[in-house]
Amino acid sequence: MSAEDGADVARSSLALGERVGSGGQGDVYAVTGGLLLFKEYKDPSKVNGTALADLAGLRQGLVQADRSRLDALAAWPLCRVVEGGRTLGFLMRRAPAPMTWRTAAGATKLLELQYLIRPPKAAWQDVAQPTPEQRRALALACVEAIGWFHDAGLVIGDISQANVLWSLSPEPAVHFLDCDGFRRVGRAAVQAQAATPDWNDPLAPSTDATVDTDAYKTALVAGRIVARQPYVRPGQDLELVPGCLDDRQGDGVRRLFAQAAGERGSRPRPSEWQTALSNRGVIKLTAATPRPRPAVDRTVLDGTRDRTPIRLRGPVQ
């Protein structure tokens, strides 16, 4: 079963293996004979099936290069799983193999962000820790991913230590989970917004999910990675991992982290974090004669700022 065409799949047609995960909203099962997983909702009556179909349709509408990028970044809903007119869940791919680790007892676990933002513990001593440079690269990969989602017209919502995976091989990379919690800007969510303790925006209700709450949580994830501090928040001192950032990067990251404590609408965007975390130096340009700017039809997302959405092949139904 590929689920590549995005069409609904009947629950009764699935051959399921063991349960591989469980959360507050659903259980995850292996689909026999492939690399797919089935997330089954615990209470289908609370699921907006149209919104879930919209997420699957977004992927179908992307050009191939962007679809491949989405698949690399996220365990995205491929299609709905239905039965008797109800939406019961969806199919998604397993996380990439490099984003797992094996315990001393032989169990396989996901390489969650929590193993990156906390000092190493004896219980997970087999998790390979990044070098300072790899830590910077992982923070950069994370903010680049968030920026990509925003450019695609998406709000993430619940960014936390449990739903972002990472790996060092073949290069530093990240992968987002619980993607049915995403929503398209201006459209309904699949379920009520989930919230993770210690990852909330203090200026917004936990049920809010906007580009601006994402901006605050971008500061949390970037700052906590480069500081290896799981609870540090904007407004507090950011003590960086030695050797992680050079002086320019460190100054930029500290400035953006402090700025994220400001009012809604003033938080740094992912592109600003990308510039600060980049290993490229700042090039000073001489003044030039300003040229007229072309007229551009702009779209404001969630009342916060302009973005150019990723190209779609056609309207998403």
pLDDT, position 287: 39
Q: What is the pLDDT of residues 224-279, one digit of tens each?
A: 999 999 999 999 999 999 999 999 999 999 999 999 999 999 999 999 999 999 98
Provide the pLDDT for residue 118.
Answer: 95
Three-state SS string over the chain comes to CCCCCCCCEEHHHCCEEEEEEECCCEEEEEECCCCEEEEEECCHHHCCHHHHHHHHHHHHHECHHHHHHHHHHECCCCEEEEECCEEEEEEEECCCHHHEEECCCCCEEECECHHHHCCCCHHHCCCCCCCHHHHHHHHHHHHHHHHHHHHCCEECCCCCCCCEEEECCCCCEEEECCHHHCEECCCCCCCCCCCCCCCCCCCCCCCCCCHHHHHHHHHHHHHHHHHCCCCCCECECCCCCCCCCCHHHHHHHHHHHHHCCCCCCCCCCHHHHHHHHCCCCCCCCCCCCCCCCCCCCCCEECCCEECCCCCECCCCC
Confidence class for position 281, pLDDT limits 50, 70, 90: low
Give the model confidence (pLDDT) of 158-211 as tens digits: 999 999 999 999 999 999 999 999 999 999 999 998 889 999 999 999 889 999
* pTM to 2 decimal places: 0.87
Q: What is the mean pLDDT of residues 133-162?
A: 97
Question: Among the ranges 20-24, 289-293, 298-302, which has the highest mean pLDDT value?
Answer: 20-24
